[in-house]
């Protein structure tokens, strides 16, 4: 997977990480983003999510993105490396030929919402 290969070059943090650790949570994050873009949403909801303002249910279980962000931070990844990793993850959604601009926007919105979840577990600088 391209995402795993990209994560492997995020040095020095990834230097000693095994392939399984590099691709951790990829499947769960892909599934969550796919579910999100398949769920009908109002334009208002899409806008809120794209701005990081989506409501968070209190007591909701930790997401794969949150766990992923926490473990990456523990491994020494910084926020710039995490953002770059998510950019590298995006092409997985665009391999199926042509898409409307609206569909691409939905994918990016879902990825940004996932990244927002990821950053919630990062320690404050």
How many independent structural domains does the chain possess? 1
| Nearest residue to 119 via CA among 92, 89, 86 | 86
Does residue 125 lie within any of the structural domains? no
Does the pTM surpass 0.75? The reply is: no
Residue 112 reports pLDDT greater than 80: no
Lookup: tokens for 57: 């249910």
Average pLDDT over residues 95-121: 71
19 inside domain: no
Asked whether residue 3 carries a pLDDT value surpassing 80, the answer given is: no
Q: Is residue 113 part of a domain?
A: yes
Lowest pLDDT segment from 65-69, 97-101, 108-112, 113-117? 97-101
Residue 125 has pLDDT above 70, yes or no: no
Q: CA-CA distance, 76 to 69, in Å (whole number)?
A: 11
Does 61 fall in a domain?
yes
Q: Please check whether residue 60 lies inside any domain of the structure.
A: yes
């Amino acid at each position: 997977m391209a995402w795993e290969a990209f994560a492997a070059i995020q040095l020095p943090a990834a230097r000693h990480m095994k392939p399984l650790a590099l691709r951790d949570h990829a499947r769960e994050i892909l599934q969550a983003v796919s579910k999100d873009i398949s769920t009908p949403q109002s334009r208002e909801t899409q806008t809120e999510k794209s701005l990081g303002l989506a409501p968070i249910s209190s007591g909701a279980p930790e997401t794969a993105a949150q766990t992923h962000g926490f473990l990456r931070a523990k491994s020494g990844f910084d926020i710039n490396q995490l953002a770059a990793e998510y950019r590298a993850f995006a092409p997985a959604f665009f391999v199926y030929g042509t898409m409307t601009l609206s569909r691409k926007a939905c994918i990016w919105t879902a990825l940004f919402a996932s990244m927002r979840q990821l950053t919630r577990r990062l320690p404050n600088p």
